[in-house]
Amino acid sequence: MHGFLRTVLCSALLLVSGCYSVGSYRLDQDQNDYSHALMDSSKRQTLLNVVRLRYADTPGFLDTTQLISGYQLQHNISVGVGTDTGVVRPYGGIGTQLQESPTFTFQPVTGDAYAQTFLRPLPPGSLLPLAMGGLPIDVLFRLAVQSVNLISNAGAIGGNVGRGSPEFFELIHDLRLLQVAGLLGIQLEHSPEVPGKTPSFDRVFLSISSTSDPLLAEVVYETRRFFNMPQNDERVEVVYGAGKPARGQIRLLTRTMLGVMGQIAYQIEVPPQDIISGRTLARVMLVGRETKPIVTVHVDDKAPKQSPFVSVRYDRRYYWIAKDDFDSKLAFTMLQILLELSKTTKNPGAVVTIPISK
């Protein structure tokens, strides 16, 4: 009898002392789980808005501003004795229960935040350094640049209009070759100092270095010639805008985030009946070197058989990006990066709070 009580009490002490490790254990696990869930949710929201734009439907954006995952740890201990046919027998039990009560706070992006984030063109000074961070410059230009000097990228409208200039795709192909060879550079310079103000990086320069490689030397020559650069000059300034540039400048007309998403949207191949019925327009048909959509989005009435990279359901159809399509995944990931870059609010992002009640 005494031995049984001693066992129960020791177990109870171990149970109570063990509760103090719940916090550290849940922190590590929840950090990974919620990070994964937030990223997946963001991908689905982005793809859904791309599909909605394909059908001229209004896109909507919700930011996760706070996540609180509360845990309550409860212990139950019971000890007693009972008789069975005259024999006194001890009995008891120990139980524990962990309850989770997550709370999510969302905030719709509206008003000035919507205008600044999705309707403001991406500044060249924020866009071009991404290429120096390792992102492919050809994919970056296909996504976020509408025109370079007098040549245009494909427009976000259907049919044969807005197919873009073949020269645009030749240019970004050459820029990618120079980037891979380490011959392409981006420099940011401060504006002239103004008393009482911190100088900002508002001048952007693109540099094309010389090389002794005969094949790359031809690419360097053609790219400099396109930018109207003297062959002995390695640097040219990049300014925002469309049209014919001044000497020593490149005019770069960047897109808004809605323009970036619309470009992807109108390259989605949809069922012919949707075009015939007037629900949407024919997709953008690219010309020149690049005829493949920058992001291939599959459409079917049935869910994908294999686990996709990201998938959404819209108007009784499934839309997804295949997990084995690396080029589409890379471009879609760059779209997500551009979305984060375009945000101008001071909101630090989702705040995750995990209180533990014992």
Model pLDDT, residue 145: 94
The overall longest dimension of the chain from CA atoms, in Å, is 109
What is the residue extent of each domain of the chain? Answer: 2-106+353-357, 121-255
Cα–Cα distance, 348 to 150 (Å, whole number): 39
Chain position carrying tokens 């998403």: 261
Alpha carbon 352 to chain centroid, angstroms: 20
Model pLDDT, residue 352: 47
Which residues, other chains included, contact 94 with Cβ-Cβ below 8 Å and sequence gap of 6+?
Answer: 8, 11, 12, 15, 75, 76, 77
Residues of the chain above pLDDT 90, percent? 44
Model pLDDT, residue 6: 57
Model pLDDT, residue 71: 62
pTM, two decimal places: 0.76
Instruction: Provide the CB-side half-sphere exposure for 222 (13 A, CA).
Output: 15
Closest CA to 119 of 256, 27, 228: 256
Cα–Cα distance, 307 to 322 (Å, whole number): 8
Cα–Cα distance, 272 to 54 (Å, whole number): 14
Cα–Cα distance, 334 to 94 (Å, whole number): 53
57 three-state secondary structure = coil
Model pLDDT, residue 119: 85
| pLDDT less than 70: residues of the chain | 1-31, 34, 64-102, 104, 106, 156-163, 191-201, 344-358
